[in-house]
Amino acid sequence: MADDVDFVNVGAGWTHGKADFELYHTRLLSGRFKESILTPRDTAVRFLKPGVGVLHWSWSVAGDRNEDLTPRKPRFGLFTMVVEKRGNAWLVVAAQNANFMPGPNPEMDGIKPPIGFPNVVEKP
């Protein structure tokens, strides 16, 4: 992560700077996500210009808990990251995480996203 990284989590919480990013994730990963398993699933990269790109990667997670510490069902999501080459390193300068919402989405009918998710539809 870049020192000036901006990160928006799935709950729309926004951190700015590497210190707050690390504090947030230290709390999260030592708490509600302590027993979770995050699995990267697919990636796509688009370079906007030399040294700057947009990285999308899908994920699945199991074993995490809600704020009240009740278990969550396994779920899927998508990270979007803006990456920039600074010196010899590629650093994340901005990132946003999103949960996949299972079920029909009529506005997406006939549109094939570059990264898909398993055909998961929750039953009521």
Q: For the segment 12-26, what is each residue's pLDDT rounded down to a tens digit?
A: 889 999 999 999 999
Q: How far apart are the C-alpha atoms of 16 and 104, rounded to whole Å? A: 34
122 located within any domain: no
123 located within any domain: no
81 located within any domain: yes
29 located within any domain: yes
Amino acid 124: pLDDT: 41
118 located within any domain: no
Torsion of CA 19, 24, 26, 29, to 10 degrees: -150
107 located within any domain: no
94 located within any domain: yes
Residue identified by tokens 């080459």 is 85
Amino acid 120: pLDDT: 56
Amino acid 114: pLDDT: 77
Q: Identify whether the C-beta of residue 39 lies closer than 8 Å to the C-beta of residue 61.
A: yes
64 class by beta-carbon count within 10 Å (0-12 exposed, 13-18 middle, 19+ buried) = buried
Query: Which residue range forms the structural domain that includes residue 69?
Result: 6-101
* Structural domain count of the chain: 1
Give the pLDDT band of residue 122 (cuts 50, 70, 90): very low
56 located within any domain: yes
pTM of the model: 0.83
Q: Say which CATH number the domain at 17 has.
A: 3.10.450.50
